[in-house]
Chain A
């Protein structure tokens, strides 16, 4: 792999140094980094992390496994316990105690000079924090689903394009060989023209009723955790379980759209478009504060005639994963290296030199770092992430309204349905607002 410092990395890092001094590539004086004479390899990407819960820490570990490719210098979380754990992890990796900590992302973005940031937050915060980080011209490794609403997604996509940063979605399945292989067989017509796709995502789980209002634990800034979401008293639901409440998430459906719908789109060539018609049904819990659908089943029709059914896995013969059906057979792929086909010969097919070779990455986090260095796009760029979650969000709207939704994937609007159109965004609670890009 080529070791080079991108212009932007270079510019950002030397900004603190005397202007106009050009250094031989790969060597930046440590003084420029304010690191008191310590000399890190200049090709290390300097990163921070916003959101250091389970997924944020998982990503951090994956980045740290890359050894000398990057370095974390600052972390941000509204839970001081999570923050302390993250600082400990970073300090251990850096063999010092210098990792800076923040409880407010605004201060983090204001004070830190970074190349890139890893962000893993509840979905209701994605719109604001992704956009503001991107506007600071930081490269972003951002967790899926990239947005809670279509409008959030459109704003984030626009911000990425405007600021020309490297974006990597946490859709790491793309960096696994069997998912790429499955998608590559399909996009090269090995099962003929695709007519139908199934994306099986997890079923919803048990409810917890409505726990009593509780004292907010001292480590948690509840007001900041809620942020733009409606103000509600603390009932003990924050980390992880936010995904069962519609104010913060669309449940398993939106959570997993960035995996199996993303892979479906990748193989079917639907990465940069969306369905034109969406209709289906859901099953919602009757009681309790967990209110995301526990079952969902909807059909999306595309302008080119392809139909995609998205459902909780128990409703589908193949269960979890992506299944493409073409005129010559089917290909199914799922986690656990699952790659099967209607005829095993399909799986032995060789993709010729002049055929489509999908982007190849063997490590999702390394691919992000490499892309930041090279300035070329990462394997999971922003628009496919937006298009994948849009399918789920439009499905959510169809199920919520009980109507067939007509979507224009070019203008990215719902046509002929004012009520459904209102569900394309969620108003933010003051003082929060989404930046106009």
Chain B
């Protein structure tokens, strides 16, 4: 018994010092839902998937009594969790529960408020708010050096979501991290509404997201990579005060929206299985992912050679499309080594690739 206890302790210490190596989720999350203007069954399940997908959270959904039901017994033990997520807008909780939640945050806990408007979360809700019709809009970072937004594109497009107008940050300790931008960039009135906010409260932190609402249809807003990733980062920040997650390749940009149909993180593990089928009219994703991997290697010979070998594999593959080979040749033209030369030269007989082979060899000076 004593020995077993020691092993548990050792495991706990190891997990604590090597968070990135641990396969067990590090942080326990309580998602509270049950009443809302939107379909909370869809959203709370999505939030659970999104948070658990990071591997660092283990989420439990807790449903409150329904509207009008007795709320007096609703008194969850927040202390068992690192992060509480509110996907809730409805009947008042017992005062003791509100106090317990405030204590939990004050003592260092994290709160993530998902489309849950409450002053506790650092926003002031006026008597009446205007909810704009569902539309695509651009989100812009207002603060780019906060752990949640650091390294993210400063502008990105978000699909088919509602914008709540008139919310104001409560007090100076509430920071608007990002805002929805509506209107023409150059002409006419610009409207900016906060969509991501952060607030420090006591020893704890609150992250607020006002995007990603379900629409009883395709739920594009909920599947937006921008919503998903900012929620994952916001959750980590609220729980720990820092963000260790990398900015993913598929974060949307000002050029276009990006969705994660199943909330799954784009790993690119299947890059070289997919890039051979490259068809520009279908998707350029795997090619732009390859470019991002080359950049990420940042001149590291070993990593670049590893990529080069796989790229040459595509050149050698009779099943791979000429379009794929053209793109590979273009990248090899600057980052290739002697390793790729024989395979590049072999393609010269392919009439459709003559120009591309010449391009590559000229640049490689071979």
Contacts and interface: CB of A to CB of B under 8 A. Distances in A.
Q: Is B one of A's binding partners? A: yes
A430 B354 CA distance: 11
B282 to A, nearest CB: 8
Contacts of B157: 206
Looking at B157, B254, B356, the one whose CB has the most chain A CB atoms below 10 A away is B254
Nearest to B144: A315
A70 to B, nearest CB: 33
B333 interface: yes
Interface string B286-299: 00110110111111
B296 A427 contact: no
B256 A285 contact: yes
Interface string B331-351: 001110000000000000000
Contact of B153 (A205, A295, A403, A426): A295
A150 to B, nearest CB: 13
Contacts of A230: 355-356, 359
A294 interface: yes
A312 B363 CA distance: 30
A294 B299 contact: no
Given A287-B256, A314-B155, A402 B288 contact: no
B223 to A, nearest CB: 15
Contacts of B321: none
B37 interface: no
B128 interface: no
8 contacts: A203-B254, A204-B253, A205-B255, A285-B256, A286-B285, A402-B294, A419-B299, A430-B355
Interface in B225-253: 249-250, 252-253
Contacts of B284: 210, 286-289, 291
Interface of B: 140-141, 144, 153-155, 157, 249-250, 252-256, 258, 280-281, 283-285, 288-289, 291-292, 294-299, 333-335, 355-356, 358-359, 362-364
B355 A419 contact: no
A84 to B, nearest CB: 31
A284 interface: yes
Contacts of B334: 400-401, 419, 422-423
Contact of A283 (B153, B281, B358): B153
Contacts of A204: 253-255
A231 interface: yes
A269 interface: no
Interface residues of A, number: 38
A429 interface: yes
B358 A210 contact: no
Nearest first, the 4 A-B pairs at minimum CB distance are A285-B255, A402-B295, A402-B298, A207-B255
Given A203-B155, A206-B256, A284-B253, 11 more contacts: A204-B254, A210-B284, A212-B281, A284-B291, A284-B292, A285-B255, A286-B285, A312-B154, A402-B294, A402-B297, A419-B334
A285 B359 contact: no
B33 to A, nearest CB: 32
Contacts of B364: 422
B115 to A, nearest CB: 26
A372 to B, nearest CB: 36
Contacts of A425: 363
A290 interface: yes
A278 B157 CA distance: 30
A85 interface: no
B196 to A, nearest CB: 16
B283 A315 contact: no
